[in-house]
Homo-oligomer: A and B are copies of this chain.
Amino acid sequence: MIAIPQRVLMGPGPSDVSPRVLEALGRQTIGHLDPVFLQLMDDIRTKMRQVFRTHNEMTLAVSGTGSAGMETLFVNLVEPGEKVLVCVNGVFGQRMTDVAQRCGADVETIEKPFGQVFDQNEVIAAVDRIRPKAVAIVHAETSTGAHQPVDKLGEAIHERGALLLLDCVTSLGGLPVEIDHWGIDAAYSGTQKCLSCPPGLSPVTLSPRAVQRLEARTRKVQSWYLDLSMVRQYWGQERFYHHTAPINMLYGLHEALAIALEEGLEKRFSRHRQAHEHLKTGLRDMGITYVSQEGHHLPMLNAVKIPPGVDDLKVRGRLLDDYGIEIGGGLGNFKGKAWRIGLMGHGATKRNAEMLLSALREILKA
């Protein structure tokens, strides 16, 4: 085994994983139809519903990373030729466009410069104009650090006959995600951000309205692996074998969800905010500013401008080599222009924020 170095993960994810989750991952593997494992799955579903703040029966973990969760929503809820509206203001909006097109959707987009957010009325106006069957939007854009408000969309979009699809990969567990209250019809997340579990699973939830859409499909879902009409029969009481569940990863997710709920979601959100404020104040004192729109900074993903004259790779290399701290580079339009500093889940602490600030001060003064 190659020696794994000590790191503090302050990039865009994966985030630092709690020793309790690591211990759970290393438990003995048991069968995917073992009664004990099935009970664990039920408990995972219950806990996921609490974290998503939903009563949705169809809440489960897709056996792939967050991008597999994204694809799951589009392959199941969109049929070829159907109109889909995607709101694009970063890499993950772009990715949703690509994924939806590969499903044969007739995709229309509304766009904002990277870092900006949409006014919710603009989105509703676009729905009026385009009349899509589904609207997809990113809650927490990992490429820009922008926090998109989505609380006013659900009812308006439902009145217009469409489903509302939400990417909450980076927000879940670090910011309120109110699936039922906001009227979200389908959402996907990842495990390696504010849930502080290693990457490999995607928590997904579908409203009864979305399930209806799935059941009314006229043709098979193009992905066998991600076909929720079959996957649901394994997670549900039928327990039909579909594919072999990633047992040990699910041990890890179970423990990560338990930790989040033991702490309490509100307390957890407030911890993320406090760590973020501490970091932001320290960065401001160093003259470092955010790339995302003022008033819409994500607490868990701080995307900031690389100061003029500073060598991106050199600074990140020194952080990693000399301090064992990982931060992320820019993505898409921000490649080479931004750093992405994560304060996620287990790692969302003032201690981490302060540690990074100290290291950056040292490196940048040199």
Contact = CB atoms under 8 A, between A and B. Distances in A.
Q: What DSSP secondary structure best describes chain A's contact surface?
A: loop
Contact of A34 (B7, B17, B99): B7
Given A14-B247, A64-B64, A199-B247, A27 B22 contact: yes
- Number of copies of this chain in the oligomer? 2
B22 A99 contact: no
Contacts of A16: 29
A1 B198 contact: no
Interface residues of A, number: 72
Interface in A230-264: 241-249, 251-252, 254-255, 258
A225 interface: yes
A223 B224 CA distance: 11
Contacts of A222: 102-103, 222-223
Given A2-B39, A225-B68, A34 B247 contact: no
A22 B13 contact: no
A156 interface: no
A248 B198 CA distance: 6
A288 interface: no
26 contacts: A1-B258, A2-B43, A4-B30, A4-B36, A4-B251, A7-B28, A7-B34, A9-B31, A11-B31, A22-B28, A22-B29, A25-B248, A65-B243, A65-B245, A66-B243, A67-B224, A67-B243, A71-B225, A95-B224, A99-B224, A102-B221, A198-B249, A200-B246, A200-B248, A223-B223, A241-B331
**10 tightest Cβ-Cβ pairs between the two chains A and B:** A26-B26, A200-B246, A67-B243, A198-B248, A199-B244, A22-B26, A99-B224, A17-B29, A29-B198, A4-B27
